[in-house]
Amino acid sequence: MARTGRRPGNQDTREAILRSARDAFADRGFDNASIRQIATGAGVDPALVHHYFGTKEQLFLATVEAPFDPVSLLPQVLDGDLEELPNRLVSTFVRIWDDPVTGAAAVALLRSGLQHDWSARMLREFLTTQILRRVLGQLDLDPAEAPMRGSLVAAQMIGMAMIRYVLKLEPLAGAAPEVVVASLAPTIRRYLLDPLPVP
Amino acid sequence: MARTGRRPGNQDTREAILRSARDAFADRGFDNASIRQIATGAGVDPALVHHYFGTKEQLFLATVEAPFDPVSLLPQVLDGDLEELPNRLVSTFVRIWDDPVTGAAAVALLRSGLQHDWSARMLREFLTTQILRRVLGQLDLDPAEAPMRGSLVAAQMIGMAMIRYVLKLEPLAGAAPEVVVASLAPTIRRYLLDPLPVP
Protein backbone atom coordinates (compact mmCIF):
# COMPACT_ATOMS: atom_id res chain seq x y z
CA MET A 1 0.00 0.00 0.00
CA ALA A 2 1.22 3.51 -0.80
CA ARG A 3 1.76 5.75 2.20
CA THR A 4 -0.69 8.58 2.54
CA GLY A 5 0.33 12.06 3.62
CA ARG A 6 -1.55 11.94 6.92
CA ARG A 7 0.19 11.01 10.13
CA PRO A 8 -0.25 7.34 10.91
CA GLY A 9 -2.77 6.33 13.52
CA ASN A 10 -1.89 4.16 16.51
CA GLN A 11 -2.17 0.88 14.65
CA ASP A 12 0.07 2.12 11.82
CA THR A 13 2.63 3.37 14.34
CA ARG A 14 2.66 0.07 16.19
CA GLU A 15 3.14 -1.78 12.94
CA ALA A 16 5.90 0.56 11.78
CA ILE A 17 7.71 -0.03 15.07
CA LEU A 18 7.25 -3.80 14.81
CA ARG A 19 8.59 -3.82 11.23
CA SER A 20 11.60 -1.75 12.22
CA ALA A 21 12.16 -3.94 15.28
CA ARG A 22 11.97 -7.09 13.18
CA ASP A 23 14.61 -5.74 10.81
CA ALA A 24 16.84 -4.59 13.67
CA PHE A 25 16.63 -7.80 15.69
CA ALA A 26 17.14 -9.98 12.62
CA ASP A 27 20.09 -7.91 11.36
CA ARG A 28 21.91 -7.20 14.58
CA GLY A 29 20.56 -9.69 17.08
CA PHE A 30 18.78 -8.91 20.31
CA ASP A 31 21.81 -7.64 22.22
CA ASN A 32 23.05 -5.24 19.54
CA ALA A 33 19.72 -3.81 18.45
CA SER A 34 18.72 -0.61 20.26
CA ILE A 35 15.39 1.05 20.91
CA ARG A 36 16.89 4.25 19.50
CA GLN A 37 17.74 2.60 16.16
CA ILE A 38 14.37 0.91 16.03
CA ALA A 39 12.60 4.21 16.70
CA THR A 40 14.65 5.93 13.98
CA GLY A 41 13.79 3.11 11.54
CA ALA A 42 10.10 3.59 12.30
CA GLY A 43 10.32 7.40 12.13
CA VAL A 44 9.13 7.86 15.70
CA ASP A 45 10.51 9.02 19.02
CA PRO A 46 12.09 6.36 21.25
CA ALA A 47 9.68 7.33 24.01
CA LEU A 48 6.82 6.19 21.79
CA VAL A 49 8.43 2.77 21.39
CA HIS A 50 8.58 2.42 25.17
CA HIS A 51 5.04 3.75 25.44
CA TYR A 52 3.67 1.07 23.12
CA PHE A 53 5.88 -1.88 23.94
CA GLY A 54 7.70 -1.28 27.24
CA THR A 55 11.25 -2.61 27.49
CA LYS A 56 13.46 -3.89 24.67
CA GLU A 57 12.72 -7.41 25.88
CA GLN A 58 8.99 -6.84 25.76
CA LEU A 59 9.31 -5.37 22.26
CA PHE A 60 11.31 -8.39 21.18
CA LEU A 61 8.67 -10.78 22.57
CA ALA A 62 5.99 -8.85 20.66
CA THR A 63 8.10 -8.94 17.50
CA VAL A 64 8.52 -12.71 17.51
CA GLU A 65 4.91 -13.13 18.70
CA ALA A 66 6.25 -15.12 21.63
CA PRO A 67 3.74 -17.62 22.95
CA PHE A 68 4.61 -16.72 26.54
CA ASP A 69 6.81 -14.43 28.61
CA PRO A 70 9.79 -16.56 29.61
CA VAL A 71 10.42 -14.42 32.70
CA SER A 72 7.05 -15.33 34.16
CA LEU A 73 7.74 -19.04 33.73
CA LEU A 74 11.29 -19.13 35.02
CA PRO A 75 10.38 -19.61 38.69
CA GLN A 76 8.49 -22.78 37.75
CA VAL A 77 11.72 -24.16 36.30
CA LEU A 78 14.36 -22.69 38.58
CA ASP A 79 12.73 -22.80 42.03
CA GLY A 80 13.46 -26.03 43.85
CA ASP A 81 16.39 -28.39 44.09
CA LEU A 82 18.83 -28.82 41.24
CA GLU A 83 18.29 -32.56 40.97
CA GLU A 84 14.65 -32.01 39.96
CA LEU A 85 15.33 -29.07 37.61
CA PRO A 86 15.41 -31.25 34.46
CA ASN A 87 11.95 -32.60 35.35
CA ARG A 88 10.62 -29.11 35.95
CA LEU A 89 12.12 -27.86 32.67
CA VAL A 90 10.50 -30.60 30.60
CA SER A 91 7.17 -30.46 32.42
CA THR A 92 6.93 -26.66 32.07
CA PHE A 93 7.78 -26.97 28.37
CA VAL A 94 5.15 -29.68 27.84
CA ARG A 95 2.53 -27.69 29.73
CA ILE A 96 3.07 -24.67 27.44
CA TRP A 97 2.93 -26.74 24.27
CA ASP A 98 0.03 -28.94 25.37
CA ASP A 99 -2.09 -25.85 26.07
CA PRO A 100 -4.29 -25.04 23.05
CA VAL A 101 -3.57 -21.29 23.05
CA THR A 102 0.11 -21.06 23.95
CA GLY A 103 0.77 -24.31 22.10
CA ALA A 104 -0.67 -22.98 18.84
CA ALA A 105 1.44 -19.82 19.21
CA ALA A 106 4.54 -21.92 19.91
CA VAL A 107 3.95 -24.04 16.80
CA ALA A 108 3.52 -20.85 14.77
CA LEU A 109 6.83 -19.52 16.11
CA LEU A 110 8.59 -22.77 15.29
CA ARG A 111 7.08 -22.88 11.80
CA SER A 112 8.02 -19.28 11.09
CA GLY A 113 11.58 -20.03 12.20
CA LEU A 114 11.96 -22.40 9.27
CA GLN A 115 10.64 -20.12 6.56
CA HIS A 116 13.50 -17.68 6.07
CA ASP A 117 17.02 -17.08 7.24
CA TRP A 118 15.87 -13.95 9.09
CA SER A 119 13.08 -15.75 10.88
CA ALA A 120 15.49 -18.55 11.83
CA ARG A 121 17.71 -15.88 13.34
CA MET A 122 14.77 -14.43 15.28
CA LEU A 123 13.90 -17.84 16.69
CA ARG A 124 17.55 -18.44 17.57
CA GLU A 125 17.72 -15.09 19.35
CA PHE A 126 14.54 -15.91 21.24
CA LEU A 127 15.91 -19.26 22.37
CA THR A 128 19.33 -17.96 23.36
CA THR A 129 18.65 -14.55 24.88
CA GLN A 130 15.21 -15.10 26.39
CA ILE A 131 15.31 -18.70 27.55
CA LEU A 132 18.70 -20.44 27.57
CA ARG A 133 20.68 -17.50 28.92
CA ARG A 134 18.27 -17.14 31.83
CA VAL A 135 18.13 -20.82 32.73
CA LEU A 136 21.89 -21.35 32.33
CA GLY A 137 22.65 -18.14 34.21
CA GLN A 138 20.96 -19.54 37.30
CA LEU A 139 23.00 -22.72 37.33
CA ASP A 140 26.54 -23.00 38.61
CA LEU A 141 28.04 -23.98 35.26
CA ASP A 142 31.51 -23.57 33.82
CA PRO A 143 31.00 -20.52 31.54
CA ALA A 144 33.10 -22.22 28.86
CA GLU A 145 30.68 -25.15 28.80
CA ALA A 146 27.34 -23.40 29.31
CA PRO A 147 26.71 -22.58 25.61
CA MET A 148 27.24 -26.20 24.48
CA ARG A 149 25.00 -27.44 27.28
CA GLY A 150 22.37 -24.92 26.20
CA SER A 151 22.46 -25.92 22.56
CA LEU A 152 22.19 -29.62 23.46
CA VAL A 153 19.18 -28.94 25.70
CA ALA A 154 17.64 -26.84 22.92
CA ALA A 155 18.21 -29.67 20.41
CA GLN A 156 16.33 -32.14 22.60
CA MET A 157 13.47 -29.80 23.46
CA ILE A 158 12.90 -28.45 19.96
CA GLY A 159 13.06 -31.98 18.54
CA MET A 160 10.43 -33.12 20.99
CA ALA A 161 8.27 -30.16 19.93
CA MET A 162 8.72 -31.07 16.27
CA ILE A 163 7.80 -34.73 16.80
CA ARG A 164 4.96 -34.26 19.30
CA TYR A 165 3.30 -31.08 18.05
CA VAL A 166 4.22 -30.53 14.39
CA LEU A 167 4.81 -33.95 12.84
CA LYS A 168 2.54 -35.60 15.43
CA LEU A 169 4.48 -38.86 15.37
CA GLU A 170 2.92 -41.51 17.60
CA PRO A 171 3.23 -42.66 20.30
CA LEU A 172 5.14 -39.57 21.50
CA ALA A 173 2.44 -37.26 20.10
CA GLY A 174 -0.27 -38.77 22.27
CA ALA A 175 1.80 -39.78 25.28
CA ALA A 176 0.84 -38.53 28.74
CA PRO A 177 2.90 -35.54 29.91
CA GLU A 178 4.42 -37.67 32.69
CA VAL A 179 5.76 -40.12 30.11
CA VAL A 180 7.37 -37.30 28.12
CA VAL A 181 8.92 -35.90 31.29
CA ALA A 182 10.21 -39.29 32.45
CA SER A 183 11.64 -39.99 28.99
CA LEU A 184 13.38 -36.67 28.40
CA ALA A 185 14.40 -35.46 31.87
CA PRO A 186 17.41 -37.84 32.13
CA THR A 187 18.64 -36.53 28.77
CA ILE A 188 18.29 -32.93 29.93
CA ARG A 189 20.04 -33.81 33.17
CA ARG A 190 22.97 -35.29 31.27
CA TYR A 191 23.28 -32.30 28.93
CA LEU A 192 23.05 -29.78 31.77
CA LEU A 193 24.92 -31.44 34.60
CA ASP A 194 27.07 -34.41 33.51
CA PRO A 195 30.61 -34.00 32.15
CA LEU A 196 30.61 -33.01 28.48
CA PRO A 197 32.48 -35.22 26.02
CA VAL A 198 36.00 -33.98 25.35
CA PRO A 199 36.42 -33.08 21.65
CA MET B 1 -2.40 -23.93 -16.52
CA ALA B 2 -5.27 -25.23 -18.61
CA ARG B 3 -4.73 -28.68 -20.04
CA THR B 4 -4.29 -28.81 -23.79
CA GLY B 5 -5.81 -31.53 -25.94
CA ARG B 6 -2.50 -33.13 -26.92
CA ARG B 7 -1.12 -36.06 -25.00
CA PRO B 8 1.32 -34.98 -22.32
CA GLY B 9 5.02 -35.36 -22.98
CA ASN B 10 7.33 -37.29 -20.67
CA GLN B 11 7.88 -34.37 -18.33
CA ASP B 12 4.16 -33.70 -18.03
CA THR B 13 3.50 -37.37 -17.36
CA ARG B 14 6.18 -37.52 -14.68
CA GLU B 15 4.74 -34.45 -13.01
CA ALA B 16 1.18 -35.73 -13.19
CA ILE B 17 2.34 -38.95 -11.53
CA LEU B 18 4.24 -37.05 -8.83
CA ARG B 19 1.20 -34.86 -8.11
CA SER B 20 -1.07 -37.87 -7.85
CA ALA B 21 1.49 -39.66 -5.69
CA ARG B 22 1.79 -36.69 -3.37
CA ASP B 23 -1.96 -36.59 -2.89
CA ALA B 24 -2.16 -40.34 -2.35
CA PHE B 25 0.72 -40.55 0.12
CA ALA B 26 -0.46 -37.51 2.06
CA ASP B 27 -4.08 -38.73 2.19
CA ARG B 28 -3.58 -42.41 2.84
CA GLY B 29 -0.02 -42.75 4.06
CA PHE B 30 2.74 -44.77 2.46
CA ASP B 31 1.40 -48.20 3.38
CA ASN B 32 -2.14 -47.62 2.16
CA ALA B 33 -1.39 -45.77 -1.05
CA SER B 34 -1.16 -48.00 -4.13
CA ILE B 35 0.57 -47.61 -7.46
CA ARG B 36 -2.74 -48.46 -9.12
CA GLN B 37 -4.57 -45.59 -7.39
CA ILE B 38 -1.72 -43.21 -8.13
CA ALA B 39 -1.75 -44.23 -11.80
CA THR B 40 -5.51 -43.73 -11.98
CA GLY B 41 -5.15 -40.31 -10.39
CA ALA B 42 -2.57 -39.35 -13.00
CA GLY B 43 -4.60 -40.83 -15.87
CA VAL B 44 -1.86 -43.27 -16.86
CA ASP B 45 -1.25 -47.00 -16.83
CA PRO B 46 0.38 -48.43 -13.66
CA ALA B 47 3.13 -49.85 -15.84
CA LEU B 48 4.11 -46.32 -16.76
CA VAL B 49 4.47 -45.40 -13.08
CA HIS B 50 6.85 -48.32 -12.61
CA HIS B 51 8.63 -47.38 -15.81
CA TYR B 52 9.35 -43.86 -14.62
CA PHE B 53 9.84 -44.38 -10.89
CA GLY B 54 10.44 -48.06 -10.16
CA THR B 55 8.95 -49.39 -6.93
CA LYS B 56 6.43 -47.70 -4.65
CA GLU B 57 9.29 -46.90 -2.28
CA GLN B 58 11.31 -45.28 -5.04
CA LEU B 59 8.26 -43.27 -6.11
CA PHE B 60 7.75 -42.15 -2.52
CA LEU B 61 11.38 -41.04 -2.22
CA ALA B 62 11.01 -39.06 -5.46
CA THR B 63 7.76 -37.51 -4.19
CA VAL B 64 9.28 -36.21 -0.96
CA GLU B 65 12.50 -35.32 -2.80
CA ALA B 66 14.38 -37.46 -0.32
CA PRO B 67 17.98 -36.32 0.16
CA PHE B 68 19.22 -39.92 0.10
CA ASP B 69 18.00 -43.48 -0.29
CA PRO B 70 17.73 -44.82 3.26
CA VAL B 71 18.22 -48.42 2.06
CA SER B 72 21.68 -47.63 0.75
CA LEU B 73 22.72 -46.13 4.09
CA LEU B 74 21.30 -48.79 6.39
CA PRO B 75 24.38 -51.05 6.32
CA GLN B 76 26.48 -48.16 7.63
CA VAL B 77 24.20 -47.99 10.65
CA LEU B 78 23.24 -51.62 11.20
CA ASP B 79 26.44 -53.51 10.36
CA GLY B 80 28.63 -54.01 13.41
CA ASP B 81 28.02 -54.65 17.08
CA LEU B 82 24.94 -53.38 18.84
CA GLU B 83 26.88 -51.41 21.45
CA GLU B 84 28.28 -49.13 18.74
CA LEU B 85 25.02 -48.76 16.80
CA PRO B 86 24.06 -45.44 18.46
CA ASN B 87 27.42 -43.97 17.42
CA ARG B 88 26.99 -45.21 13.86
CA LEU B 89 23.44 -43.84 13.70
CA VAL B 90 24.48 -40.35 14.80
CA SER B 91 27.65 -40.26 12.70
CA THR B 92 25.79 -41.40 9.55
CA PHE B 93 23.13 -38.76 10.19
CA VAL B 94 25.73 -36.03 10.71
CA ARG B 95 27.63 -37.07 7.58
CA ILE B 96 24.47 -36.73 5.46
CA TRP B 97 23.57 -33.33 6.92
CA ASP B 98 27.11 -31.96 6.88
CA ASP B 99 27.44 -32.76 3.17
CA PRO B 100 26.59 -29.65 1.10
CA VAL B 101 24.39 -31.48 -1.43
CA THR B 102 22.50 -34.02 0.69
CA GLY B 103 22.46 -31.57 3.60
CA ALA B 104 20.74 -28.87 1.57
CA ALA B 105 18.15 -31.39 0.39
CA ALA B 106 17.62 -32.57 3.96
CA VAL B 107 17.07 -29.01 5.18
CA ALA B 108 14.59 -28.47 2.35
CA LEU B 109 12.70 -31.61 3.36
CA LEU B 110 12.61 -30.50 6.99
CA ARG B 111 11.46 -27.00 6.04
CA SER B 112 8.74 -28.31 3.76
CA GLY B 113 7.52 -30.57 6.56
CA LEU B 114 6.58 -27.49 8.57
CA GLN B 115 4.67 -25.66 5.85
CA HIS B 116 1.42 -27.59 5.69
CA ASP B 117 -0.36 -30.41 7.41
CA TRP B 118 0.01 -32.56 4.31
CA SER B 119 3.75 -31.95 4.07
CA ALA B 120 4.13 -32.70 7.78
CA ARG B 121 2.38 -35.98 7.08
CA MET B 122 4.77 -36.72 4.19
CA LEU B 123 7.78 -36.07 6.40
CA ARG B 124 6.28 -38.24 9.13
CA GLU B 125 5.69 -41.06 6.66
CA PHE B 126 9.26 -40.71 5.40
CA LEU B 127 10.65 -40.93 8.92
CA THR B 128 8.48 -43.81 10.03
CA THR B 129 8.25 -46.06 6.98
CA GLN B 130 11.61 -45.41 5.34
CA ILE B 131 13.96 -44.93 8.28
CA LEU B 132 12.64 -45.86 11.73
CA ARG B 133 10.84 -49.02 10.66
CA ARG B 134 13.97 -50.32 9.00
CA VAL B 135 16.35 -49.50 11.83
CA LEU B 136 13.99 -50.74 14.55
CA GLY B 137 13.16 -53.85 12.54
CA GLN B 138 16.78 -54.94 12.69
CA LEU B 139 16.99 -54.66 16.46
CA ASP B 140 15.69 -57.21 18.90
CA LEU B 141 13.14 -54.90 20.49
CA ASP B 142 9.86 -55.56 22.27
CA PRO B 143 7.35 -54.75 19.49
CA ALA B 144 5.17 -52.95 22.05
CA GLU B 145 8.04 -50.58 22.85
CA ALA B 146 9.63 -50.10 19.44
CA PRO B 147 7.38 -47.23 18.30
CA MET B 148 8.04 -45.14 21.44
CA ARG B 149 11.77 -45.80 21.12
CA GLY B 150 11.59 -44.72 17.49
CA SER B 151 9.77 -41.50 18.21
CA LEU B 152 12.23 -40.60 21.00
CA VAL B 153 15.19 -41.23 18.68
CA ALA B 154 13.47 -39.15 16.00
CA ALA B 155 12.90 -36.31 18.49
CA GLN B 156 16.59 -36.16 19.36
CA MET B 157 17.85 -36.42 15.79
CA ILE B 158 15.40 -33.95 14.26
CA GLY B 159 16.10 -31.50 17.10
CA MET B 160 19.82 -31.75 16.44
CA ALA B 161 19.15 -31.07 12.76
CA MET B 162 17.03 -28.03 13.65
CA ILE B 163 19.65 -26.55 15.97
CA ARG B 164 22.77 -27.38 13.93
CA TYR B 165 21.55 -26.87 10.36
CA VAL B 166 18.46 -24.65 10.40
CA LEU B 167 18.74 -22.34 13.40
CA LYS B 168 22.56 -22.66 13.39
CA LEU B 169 22.82 -22.24 17.14
CA GLU B 170 26.42 -22.21 18.35
CA PRO B 171 28.43 -24.02 19.51
CA LEU B 172 26.51 -27.09 18.30
CA ALA B 173 26.27 -25.64 14.77
CA GLY B 174 30.04 -25.47 14.37
CA ALA B 175 31.05 -28.42 16.53
CA ALA B 176 33.19 -31.19 15.06
CA PRO B 177 31.19 -34.26 14.01
CA GLU B 178 32.95 -36.32 16.71
CA VAL B 179 31.64 -33.95 19.38
CA VAL B 180 28.10 -34.26 18.10
CA VAL B 181 28.41 -38.05 18.03
CA ALA B 182 29.89 -38.21 21.54
CA SER B 183 27.18 -35.88 22.87
CA LEU B 184 24.16 -37.56 21.28
CA ALA B 185 25.08 -41.24 21.08
CA PRO B 186 24.45 -41.92 24.81
CA THR B 187 20.99 -40.37 24.43
CA ILE B 188 20.22 -42.55 21.41
CA ARG B 189 21.52 -45.59 23.28
CA ARG B 190 19.21 -44.87 26.20
CA TYR B 191 16.17 -44.37 23.95
CA LEU B 192 16.87 -47.49 21.91
CA LEU B 193 18.20 -49.95 24.44
CA ASP B 194 17.58 -48.95 28.07
CA PRO B 195 14.31 -49.69 29.89
CA LEU B 196 11.59 -47.20 29.00
CA PRO B 197 9.91 -45.27 31.81
CA VAL B 198 6.67 -46.88 32.93
CA PRO B 199 3.73 -44.50 32.38
Alpha helices in chain B (DSSP H): 10-32, 35-42, 46-53, 56-63, 70-78, 85-98, 100-113, 117-125, 133-137, 146-161, 177-193
Q: Are B73 and B92 in contact (CB under 8 A)?
A: yes
Residues of B in contact with A199 (CB under 8 A): 175-176, 178-179, 182
Please check whether residue A173 touches B, CB under 8 A. yes
Closest residue by Cα to residue A120 from B156, B173, B17, B37: B173
What is the rounded CA–CA span in Å between residue B74 and residue B71?
Answer: 5
A127 Cβ partners below 8 Å, 6+ apart?
A154, A158, B167, B169
Least confident of A36-50, A158-172, B26-40, B102-116: B102-116
Residue B36 burial class via C-beta count within 10 angstroms: exposed 0-12, middle 13-18, buried 19 and up: exposed
Please check whether residue B173 touches A, CB under 8 A. yes
Considering the domain B70-193 in this protein, what is its CATH number? 1.10.357.10
Q: Is the pLDDT of residue B139 over 90?
A: no
- B162 with A155: Cβ contact below 8 A: yes
pLDDT-above-90 percentage for chain A: 63
Q: What is the ipTM of this complex?
A: 0.86
Least confident of A15-24, A127-136, A169-178, B7-16: B7-16
**Which residue of chain B is at minimal alpha-carbon distance from A146?**
B171
Summary mean pLDDT of chain B: 90
Best of B160, B167, B180, B181 to substitute, by most chain A Cβ atoms within 10 angstroms, is B167
Please check whether residue A175 touches B, CB under 8 A. yes
Residues of B in contact with A123 (CB under 8 A): 167
- B163 with A172: Cβ contact below 8 A: no
The HSE-up count of residue A191 (CA atoms within 13 Å, CB side) is: 30
Which residues of A, range 67-126, sit inside 8 Å of B by Cβ?
A: 110-111, 113-115, 120, 123-124
pLDDT at A199: 61
B188 Cβ partners below 8 Å, 6+ apart?
B86, B89, B90, B153, B156, B157
Q: Is the pLDDT of residue A112 over 90?
A: no
pLDDT-above-90 percentage for chain B: 63
Mean pLDDT within A34-40: 95
Mean pLDDT within A128-142: 89
pLDDT digits (tens, 9 = 90+) for A60-99: 999 988 888 888 888 889 999 989 999 999 999 999 999 9
Mean pLDDT within B76-81: 90
pLDDT at A2: 44
- A124 with B168: Cβ contact below 8 A: yes
Q: What does B52-98 look like in DSSP terms, one character per residue? A: HH-SHHHHHHHHTT-SS-HHHHHHHHHSS-GGGHHHHHHHHHHHHHH
**Across the interface, which of B113, B114, B171 has its CB nearest the CB of A148?**
B171
Domain B10-63 shares a fold with domain B70-193 = no
Residue B74 burial class via C-beta count within 10 angstroms: exposed 0-12, middle 13-18, buried 19 and up: middle
pLDDT band at B153 (very low <50, low <70, confident <90, very high): very high
Q: Is the pLDDT of residue B160 over 70?
A: yes
Q: Domain map of chain A by residue range?
A: 10-63, 70-193
Cβ count within 10 A of residue A79:
10
Q: Is the pLDDT of residue A6 over 70?
A: no
**Across the interface, which of A158, A168, A179 has its CB nearest the CB of B162?**
A158
Q: Are A152 and B160 in contact (CB under 8 A)?
A: no
Q: Is the pLDDT of residue A100 over 60?
A: yes
Q: Is the pLDDT of residue B132 over 50?
A: yes
Q: Is the pLDDT of residue B7 over 70?
A: no
Compute the count of residue pairs across chains A and B with CB atoms less than 8 Å apart. Answer: 134
Q: Give the residue, B66 or A199, on which the prediction is more confident.
A: B66
Domain topology for B10-63: Arc Repressor Mutant, subunit A (1.10.10)
Query: What angle separates helix A146-161 from helix B146-161, to the nearest 10 degrees?
Result: 130
